[in-house]
């Protein structure tokens, strides 16, 4: 959105930031302060911008807040918050705001936040005035009536509950591995030791032969240095000493002034206590070097705090350590590269040529409620240090801590004196570059800046104050919708252009019917409709789809110059685009990556990891197939439906016995409009919006809904009536609205409402104290046929008590079609028996026609239960029984009774004929 830079005080701004703005993130690389540009740029290729990239398991320092009665926010404390995505784009103009303590840059039509007595209020940069007060960093202070409310500091763990261990060396591991190698005798044992120790097989063989010993075990301190240490106040001070006055090469060297004997004694005592190490002390004039000749310690200190003066940093874990640990680190650093100030500007000052180190110390001070500020200075060229002339000027950074903010004094009852960040001037400047943002953060905010500023972002426009959405502030609102079929195909083409896709080519030959037949026969492919093939060869059409004789496989003929190619099951991006309804660009990107990973997982067992190169024949098989994409589709869900997505059931029309007239009606009402909407457009009519399935329990209403979802290949959202109802006022209606909103985003979509009578009864009937069902009915009515259109969304509802439904739902434009699912007739019962017994080992003499005649009054569910019970009867006869007999079914019929009663059937028939609720239809 905007550019932002800041130094000094902490403010809140509703904008994106420039790439050099530091942010505090926590991810798989640990907790670190990193420039936002360096963090986000790896998610983009050169030149890419204006598109959000999703991230996983990334947290940024944000805040915990609470609303006030003035519709503003107060801040409890800073806290790590989950990040949903990252974003970058370019701007050409920004405003520079100078205030007491620093500078901030933002575009004029976006907001910064100013402090009021009621809390924090957003205000456009172009409308800011000199003298207004910006919002500061989290900082804990004492308050009294009449003061402006200030943000509180970060919440850190208590010292008595903090426990963290850090690895120091692999000496213990190597010592054990070396001992095991001398006792081992087989190549398999050598290999296990090599993997455990992280060395090569030849190295382990050398250990066994005693031709050499691990170098780490040859050092004088290897036996005394522990393999790990626990974070403590002593260790924190040692790291502070190192960050200020230490360097690590083949040893660790701490350099102090010769007169600083107190620090010498403190350092050597703590190194002995923590590491069991003894130093080599060398005095050269005014300088004393305390040296620990250990590569293990050199590795440990350089890993924790960096190597070289310009690359020093604080340990990552210090951002989540208790205050007592941080102040020990700060004390150790100030003893080396710091000093205490006296007079009017009393306090503490720390300096360093490492910008990163000073920034991290400033952030940590602020997070612990210690008032600090940073600045830069230059040491002139020509100066002498230890008799050596420095020819170049050196830029360095300075951290200042005020005297009233002493971090080493008790904090109880202490009053903080704070200079408020008052705006001093505002001017417009040109800017050409990227600005960056973290998206989807909790509370739409994260901290960033040399002194951490609270930055604002949002992907929930309705949570933004309405005053910000008027012209002159946010002049335009652009909603990035879900891509349509053509858009999905183009996105697929982008993400697969470097992927080796399997085209499914069987063979290529001359465009002659004899040649094609011969090629098919060689591959034992039997096609039907050869007459159509001949017509295709004589025509100028580019391709033709054909099916095998059993209809199980699909083949395609394509013209390729003067030849014809025959393909089977290749990757067809049109096909994938047609079934990825509701998928965003990020979803499609994840889909293609998962399809590629399927290939790698399939090939990986064939690769010999000991070989230097992968064989050519394996590389040639690295092709992403149609099956890989369809397997990936089972795992990658569309973002719009992630919270309500239901696994598409594998129920087809052929799995439902009989009821052909019901299947025909559902195909006309649902499948045809979703698959071929152009047919209805050509005829000038609108398709059916809602279908109500009415029938007795167990007659297959839910089964029909599952078959519709499978056959239409549309997105499928299933909600159960009782699950919608909530005891909280407004939540039930919100759930219904949210379901329809997500369905509109992921069209074509089928919404299935089971047991709709539980949430949409007659309004005004019963004793519903809070009128929750009446509000749900009102919401359903407006969503299905209100001012908001319902395009390519079909609502299917099921009930076995239709007389309870509100009459307004049953008119045209809502539930246009009411389909009765009747009890199965004899012919239908016969088909249901065959469907549910097709996987059973059946004995001879079993007559399903006789069973169908005997099961008058049985529903489909009853018949399925009968088949299951017959199988259980056979199992009870003996676990080694190999078939289910006629006697087993007879006994099952004596157990499973019909669930259809005459009264129930009469009531459903009256409703279907219009004798019940006839005025509603």
pLDDT at residue 72 is higher than 60:
no
Q: What angle, 0 to 180 degrees and rounded to 10, lies between the N-to-C axes of helices 731-745 and 772-785?
A: 20
Decide: 49 and 468 in contact? Cβ < 8 Å. Answer: no
Distance CA 676, CA 546 (A): 21
Reported as a pLDDT band with limits 50, 70 and 90, residue 9 is very low
pLDDT digits (tens, 9 = 90+) for 668-690: 877 777 777 777 778 877 777 78
Query: What is the mean predicted confidence (pLDDT) over 503-529?
Result: 71
Pairing verdict, β 165-167 and 22-27: unpaired
* pLDDT confidence of residue 187: 79
CA–CA dist 152, 404 (Å, integer): 18
Percent of the chain with pLDDT over 70: 74
| pLDDT for the residue 4 | 27
Residue 332 pLDDT grade (very low, low, confident, very high; cuts 50, 70, 90)? very high
| Residue 811 reports pLDDT greater than 70 | yes
* pLDDT given for residue 74 in this prediction: 53
Question: What is the CATH superfamily name and number for domain 228-405?
Answer: Homing endonucleases (3.10.28.10)
Residue range 388-403, pLDDT digits in tens: 666 666 788 888 887 6
The answer to whether 850 and 696 are in contact (CB under 8 A) is no
| Rounded-to-integer distance, Cα 796 and Cα 750, Å | 7
Distances (CA, A) of 851 to 441, 863, 875: 63, 10, 21
Q: For residue 21, what pLDDT is reported? A: 82
Burial class (CB in 10 A: 0-12, 13-18, 19+), 164: middle
Computed over its alpha carbons, how large is the radius of gyration of the chain?
37
- Pair 454, 441: CB distance under 8 Å: no
Model confidence at 430, pLDDT cuts 50, 70, 90, reads confident
- 693 neighbors 796 (Cβ within 8 angstroms): yes
Q: How many CA atoms lie within 13 A of 846 on its CB side?
A: 21
Return the number of other C-beta atoms located less than 10 Å from residue 915's C-beta: 11
Confirm if 206 and 193 have CB atoms less than 8 A apart.
Answer: no
DSSP-derived 3-state class of residue 784: helix
By CB neighbour count within 10 A (0-12 exposed, 13-18 middle, 19+ buried), where does 898 fall? middle
Report which listed range, 341-345, 686-690, 821-825, 873-877, is most confident: 873-877
Question: What angle in degrees, to the nearest 10, is found between the helix axes of 323-337 and 355-367?
Answer: 140
User: Tokens 């012919």 label which residue?
Assistant: 827
CB atoms under 10 Å from CB of 750, counted, come to 23
pLDDT tens for 216-250 read 666 656 567 777 888 899 999 999 999 999 989 88
* pLDDT score at 413: 43
Phi, psi torsion values for 798, nearest 5 degrees: -130, 140
- Is residue 641 scored above 70 in pLDDT? no
pLDDT at 642 over 70: no
Whether residue 314 has pLDDT greater than 90: yes
The residues near 805 (Cβ < 8 Å, ≥ 6 apart) are 692, 756, 757, 760, 761, 762, 799, 917
Q: What separation in angstroms does the CA of 76 have from each of 248, 412, 664?
A: 42, 19, 61
Beta strand 12-14 with 453-456 is parallel
Which of the pair, 256 or 649, is modelled with greater confidence? 256
Output the pLDDT for position 7: 30
d(CA 14, CA 457): 7
| Mean of pLDDT over the chain | 75
What are the pLDDT digits (tens) for 433-482?
887 888 877 666 777 777 776 665 544 444 455 555 556 555 666 666 67
3-state SS, residue 902: helix
**Does the model's pTM come out above 0.75?**
no
DSSP 431-493: EEEEEEEEES-GGGEEEETTTTEEEE--S-GGGS-GGGGSTTTS----------HHHHHHHHH
Architecture of domain 12-150+420-469: Beta Complex (2.170)
C-beta contacts of 152-156 below 8 A and 24+ residues apart: 152/75, 152/76, 152/77, 153/77, 153/78, 153/366, 153/367, 153/368, 153/369, 154/61, 154/77, 154/78, 154/79, 154/367, 154/368, 155/77, 155/79, 156/320, 156/321, 156/322, 156/323, 156/367, 156/368
Mean pLDDT on 67-75: 48
pLDDT of 50 over the 60 cut: yes
Overall CATH class of domain 653-821: alpha beta
Query: Residue 434, Cβ neighbours under 10 Å: how many?
Result: 18
Question: What are the CA-CA distances from residue 778 to residues 20, 162, 634, 752, 781 (Å)?
Answer: 52, 54, 36, 18, 5
Exposed, middle or buried: residue 786 (CB in 10 Å: 0-12, 13-18, 19+)? middle
pLDDT above 50 for 6 = no
Considering the chain, what percentage of its residues have pLDDT values greater than 90? Answer: 7
**What is the per-residue pLDDT for 28?**
85
Count the neighbouring beta carbons within 10 Å of the beta carbon of residue 41. Answer: 17
Q: How far apart are CA 828 and CA 826, in angstroms?
A: 5
pLDDT score of 814: 77
Separation of alpha carbons 624 and 631, rounded Å: 11
- Confidence label for 702 from pLDDT (cuts 50, 70 and 90): confident
pLDDT band at residue 150, thresholds of 50, 70 and 90?
very low
Q: Report phi then psi at 91, rounded to 5.
A: -130, 160
pLDDT of res. 409: 67
Residue 405's pLDDT is 66
For 572-611, the pLDDT digits (tens) are: 788 888 778 778 888 888 888 888 888 888 877 777 767 7
Domain boundaries of the chain, sorted by first residue: 12-150+420-469, 170-218, 228-405, 505-568, 653-821, 826-898
Q: How far apart are the C-alpha atoms of 801 and 175, rounded to whole Å?
A: 77
Smallest Cα–Cα separation from 468: which of 864, 64, 122, 48? Answer: 122
Tokens 């102040």 belong to residue: 327
In this model, does residue 856 exceed pLDDT 60?
Answer: yes
- Report the pLDDT value the prediction gives residue 243, as an integer from 0 to 100: 92
Q: What is the mean pLDDT of residues 359-381?
A: 82
Give the fold, CATH level 3, of 826-898.
Helicase, Ruva Protein; domain 3 (1.10.8)
Tens of pLDDT, residue by residue over 255-311, are: 998 899 999 999 999 999 988 888 999 998 888 999 998 888 888 899 899 988 889
């Amino acid at each position: 959105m905007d550019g932002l830079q800041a130094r000094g005080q902490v403010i809140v701004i509703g904008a994106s930031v420039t790439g050099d703005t530091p942010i505090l993130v926590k991810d798989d690389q640990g907790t670190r302060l990193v420039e936002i540009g360096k963090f986000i740029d790896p998610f983009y290729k050169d030149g890419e911008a204006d598109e959000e990239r999703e991230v996983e398991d990334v947290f940024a320092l944000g805040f915990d807040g609470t609303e006030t009665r003035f519709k503003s926010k107060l801040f409890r404390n800073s806290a790590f918050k989950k990040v949903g995505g990252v974003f970058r784009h370019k701007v050409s103009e920004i405003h520079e705001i100078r205030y007491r303590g620093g500078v901030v840059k933002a575009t004029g039509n976006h907001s910064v936040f100013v402090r009021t007595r009621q809390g924090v209020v957003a205000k456009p940069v172009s409308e800011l005035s000199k003298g207004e007060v910006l919002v500061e960093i989290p900082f804990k202070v004492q308050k009294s009536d009449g003061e402006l409310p200030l943000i509180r500091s970060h919440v850190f763990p208590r010292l008595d509950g903090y426990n963290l261990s850090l690895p120091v060396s692999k000496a213990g591991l190597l010592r054990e591995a070396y001992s095991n190698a001398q006792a081992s005798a087989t190549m398999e044992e050598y290999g296990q030791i090599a993997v455990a120790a992280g060395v090569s097989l030849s190295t382990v063989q050398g250990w066994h032969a005693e031709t050499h010993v691990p170098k780490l075990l040859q050092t004088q301190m290897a036996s005394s240095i522990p393999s790990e240490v626990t974070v403590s106040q002593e260790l924190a001070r040692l790291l502070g000493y190192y960050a200020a006055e230490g360097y690590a090469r083949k040893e660790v060297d701490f350099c102090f002034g010769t007169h600083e004997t107190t620090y010498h004694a403190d350092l050597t005592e703590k190194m002995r206590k923590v590491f069991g190490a003894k130093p080599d002390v060398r005095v050269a004039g005014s300088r004393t070097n305390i040296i620990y000749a250990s590569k293990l310690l050199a590795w440990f200190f350089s890993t924790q705090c960096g190597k070289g003066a310009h690359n020093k940093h604080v340990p990552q874990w210090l951002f989540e350590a208790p205050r007592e640990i941080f102040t020990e680190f700060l004390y150790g650093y100030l003893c080396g590269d710091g000093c205490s100030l006296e007079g009017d500007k009393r306090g503490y000052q720390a300096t360093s040529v490492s910008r990163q180190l000073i920034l991290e110390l400033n952030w940590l001070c602020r997070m612990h409620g210690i008032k600090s500020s940073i600045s830069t200075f230059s040491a002139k060229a020509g100066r002498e240090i230890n008799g050596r002339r420095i020819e170049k000027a050196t830029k360095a950074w300075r951290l200042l801590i005020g005297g009233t903010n002493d971090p080493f004094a008790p904090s109880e009852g202490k009053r903080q004196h704070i200079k408020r960040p008052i705006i001093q001037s505002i001017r417009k400047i040109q800017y050409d570059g990227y600005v960056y943002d973290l998206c989807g953060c909790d509370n739409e905010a994260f901290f960033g800046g040399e002194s951490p500023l609270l930055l604002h972002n949002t992907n929930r426009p309705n949570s933004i104050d309405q005053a910000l959405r008027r012209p002159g502030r946010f002049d335009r609102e652009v909603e990035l919708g879900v891509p349509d079929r053509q858009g999905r195909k183009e996105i697929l083409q982008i993400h697969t252009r470097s992927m080796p896709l399997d085209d499914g080519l069987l063979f290529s030959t001359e465009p002659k019917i004899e040649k094609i037949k011969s090629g098919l026969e060689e591959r034992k492919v039997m096609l039907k409709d050869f007459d159509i093939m001949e017509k295709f060869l004589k025509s100028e059409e580019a391709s033709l789809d054909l099916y095998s004789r059993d209809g199980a496989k699909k083949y395609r003929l394509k013209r390729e110059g003067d030849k014809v190619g025959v393909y089977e099951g290749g990757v067809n991006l049109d096909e994938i685009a047609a079934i990825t309804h509701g998928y965003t660009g990020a979803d499609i990107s994840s889909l293609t990556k998962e399809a590629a990973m399927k290939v790698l997982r399939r090939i990986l067992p064939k690769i010999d990891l000991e070989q230097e190169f992968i064989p050519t024949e394996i590389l040639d098989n690295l092709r992403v197939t149609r099956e890989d994409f369809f397997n990936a589709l089972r795992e990658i869900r569309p973002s719009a439906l992630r919270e309500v997505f239901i696994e598409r059931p594998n129920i087809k029309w052929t799995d439902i016995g009989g009821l052909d007239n019901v299947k025909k009606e559902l195909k006309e009402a649902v499948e045809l409009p979703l698959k071929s909407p152009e047919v209805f457009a050509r005829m000038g009519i609108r398709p059916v919006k809602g279908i109500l399935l009415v029938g007795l329990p167990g007659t297959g209403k839910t089964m029909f809904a599952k078959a519709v979802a499978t056959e239409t290949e549309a997105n499928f959202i299933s909600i159960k009536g009782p699950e919608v109802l909530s005891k909280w006022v407004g939540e039930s209606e919100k759930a219904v609205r949210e379901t329809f909103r997500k369905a509109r985003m992921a069209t074509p979509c089928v919404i299935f409402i089971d047991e709709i009578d539980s949430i949409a009864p007659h309004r005004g009937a019963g004793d519903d104290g809070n009128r929750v069902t009446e509000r749900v009915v009102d919401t359903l009515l407006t969503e299905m046929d209100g001012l908001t259109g319902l395009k390519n969304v079909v609502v299917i509802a099921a009930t076995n008590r239709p007389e309870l439904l509100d009459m307004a739902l049953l008119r045209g434009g809502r539930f246009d079609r009411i389909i009765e699912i009747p009890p199965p007739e004899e012919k239908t019962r016969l088909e249901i028996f065959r469907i549910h017994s097709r996987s059973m080992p059946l004995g001879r003499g079993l007559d399903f026609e006789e069973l169908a005649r005997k099961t008058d009054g049985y529903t489909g569910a009853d018949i399925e239960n009968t088949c299951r019970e017959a199988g259980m009867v056979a199992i009870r006869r003996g676990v080694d029984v190999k078939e289910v007999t006629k006697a087993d079914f007879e006994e099952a019929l004596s157990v499973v009774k019909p669930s259809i009663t005459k009264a129930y059937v009469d009531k459903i028939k009256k409703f279907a004929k219009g004798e019940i609720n006839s005025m509603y239809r």
